[in-house]
Amino acid sequence: MARFLPYLWPKDNLGLRVRIAIALILVVISKLVIFYMGLLLGQVIDQMAPGNEASVNVAIALVAIYAGARFGGVLFDNVRNVVFERVGQDATRRLAENVFGHLHNLSMRFHMNRRTGAVTKVIERGTKSIDVMLYFLLFNIAPTIFDLLLYSTYFQLQFGWGLVAATWTMVVAYIAFTTIITNWRNALREEMNELDTQTVAKSVDSLLNYETVKYFNAEKRESARYNKVVSQWADAAVKSENSLAVLNIGQSLITNLMLAGAMGYVVWGWSKGQFTTGDVVTVNTMLMQLFRPLDMLGMVYRTIRQGITDMAAMFDLIDATPEIVDKPGAVSLTVSGGALVFEDVTFGYEADRQILNGVSFDIAPGKTLAVVGPSGAGKSTIARLIYRFYDVTGGRILIDGQDVRDVTQSSLRAVIGIVPQDTVLFNDSIGYNIGYGREGAAQEEIERAAKGAQIHTFIAAQTQQYETPVGERGLKLSGGEKQRVAIARTLLKNPPILILDEATSALDSRTEAEIVATLDEVAKKRTTIVIAHRLSTIVDADEIVVLDMGRVAERGNHAALLDQRGLYAEMWARQQSEKEDESVAAE
């Protein structure tokens, strides 16, 4: 609640504070109008004496005023809602922005371990709850307390302490019963929410991987997994809804016992001449007005408790500490040539899983270094460390003599471009995905980058051309087309340091030769690291580093490594043999 209150009373927005103040004033006016409605109705009854024309006229006038008061109560309530709506929506917006921005600042380790569907559901419930919390706290809880004090004062002055004590006894009993039952129901609701989150997470995970599902003929298996969770959620929902009946019955019993007792007391007083007929009507009306918000207390309490639970889950996301942060006073990276140095770098994703063991190499500005090796040797990890998605556990990485840990992450990533092995695109147009490489890029620049990546002709042949949608994660494009979009995106960024992580792995031989030629041309102007599986694509690299078990096993150019007759030569011979076998098979 302490973290929630700043959204209720924003320090940096005087306009929203004024709106809240006006809304609260309208609440008070509305409650006073409704209070006087009860008094007016009692006076109308007292004026209804047969044969007294003057009394009839007064009664008719009071009826007109009573109708006006009823309209006034509705009017002030709705004007209050209009005034307050901007406050609730702005609070929801600011909270959603904070969470969304924080999620993007979290480390890759967090995102590798998360379930997208579950995180999305937590954010959705948390941001929605803040608007509801604001509304109920300001316009239900606070007005109910005001009503109780107002009516208690009137009852004491008009009917004595007995009715006041009875009213407070009823309210305390009502709140205690509602709290006990609602806490029981909250446990059921939390179980429902957990199952609901699992349902969404499993459905999103399954639908995102629908190709894999079809590959393994697992539609029935996925339906069974989903049905299991949904069935558990349905059972929890039945328990929760049945418990609502217990709550409603108990609340109704308490309020009706109070109403019967209060009405009986006033009727008894009327029979003794202490109270008028109008007093009977007034007490009935006021108690009904007091019961109306109390009837919602269970729902309000449950909603607030649920809102706190939902916001707590969302604040847990906000509290997740970014693993990689800028040092205090970190400066922007200054790139003069783009020299890149790995000095005795060690790294492991987990304490018991070492990936790199004292890797050292350097790349002169404008040169190309290729990194090759068996699967799991640590090739792709090198790219992640250069981007500082993770920090090295030993040694250091330098760019033009500057440790990447001493500069801001934003400036570091601004000078690096990558064509990843697994290209994932936004569910938008081809033009948008290429233009994502540099904010504000003109259409001519986007088309120039597309031509450089050998994909402009394909785009121009589409009906919508650069507005052609690529589908979720780019699934409407082939693997080669996605990689060419990724290449175009990086060409548009035009960084001084370029990382090609299996950049042509999904391309056919002809397209691969064309793009390799393009990339070779681009690489002449910048420092380039090529992470490759196909050795034929890196034979012209200035230097080749061969990784094995997280260590530099060999290094040198293509010819020198073949002469060494080591691991590189073995890999080359194997790939050449596979290539010959493929050629024979094709014939």
Each residue of 282-300: pLDDT tens digit?
787 788 777 777 777 767 7
**Helix/strand/coil for 32:** helix
55 phi and psi angles, rounded to 5 deg: -65, -35
pLDDT digits (tens, 9 = 90+) for 223-253: 888 888 888 888 887 877 777 788 778 888 8
Quick one: average pLDDT of 439-458? 83
303-348 pLDDT, tens digit per residue, is: 777 777 777 777 777 766 766 778 888 888 888 888 888 888 888 8
Asked if pLDDT for residue 474 goes beyond 70, the answer is no
What is the model's pLDDT at position 102? 65
Report pLDDT for 59: 62
Residues 395-419: tens digit of each pLDDT: 888 888 888 888 888 888 888 888 8
Mean pLDDT of the chain: 77
Is the pLDDT confidence value at 478 over 80?
Answer: no
Residue 57: its pLDDT value, please? Answer: 64
Q: Which residue has the higher pLDDT, 167 or 3?
A: 167
The pLDDT score that the predictor gives to residue 293 is 75
Average of per-residue pLDDT across 261-275: 79
User: Which tens digit of pLDDT belongs to each residue from 172-223?
Assistant: 888 888 888 877 877 777 777 777 777 877 787 788 787 777 777 777 878 8
pLDDT band at 581 (very low <50, low <70, confident <90, very high): low
pLDDT (average), residues 83-101: 70
One-letter amino acid of 42? G
CA dist 335 and 123 (Å) reads 39
pLDDT at site 290: 78
Provide the token pair at 171.
């309210």
Whether residue 575 has pLDDT greater than 60: yes
Contact 498, 528 (CB under 8 A): yes
- Tokens at 377, concatenated: 């040797």
> To which H or E segment does residue 165 belong?
helix 161-208
**Res 567: pLDDT:** 85
Mean pLDDT of 11-15: 72
Degrees to nearest 5, angle at CA 257 with 256 and 262 = 95
**Residue 123 · residue 317 · CB < 8 Å:** yes
Q: Are 418 and 383 in contact (CB under 8 A)?
A: yes
- In 3-state terms, the chain is what percent helix, strand and coil (to 5)? 65, 10, 20
Walk me through the domains of the chain, giving residue ranges and CATH numbers: 12-319 (1.20.1560.10), 340-586 (3.40.50.300)
Percent of the chain with pLDDT over 70: 79
- Whether 179 and 170 have beta carbons less than 8 Å apart is answered as no
DSSP 478: -
User: What is the identity of the amino acid at 179?
Assistant: T
| Segment 485-522, tens digit of pLDDT | 888 888 888 888 888 887 666 566 666 676 677 677 76
Q: 395 to each of 80, 100, 175, 352, 380, how far by Cα in Å?
A: 62, 33, 63, 18, 18
Query: What distance in Å separates the CA atoms of residue 104 and residue 307, rounded to the nearest whole number?
Result: 24
Which pLDDT score, from 0 to 100, does residue 562 have?
85
- pLDDT at position 62: 64
Helix (H, G, I), strand (E, B) or coil at 214: helix
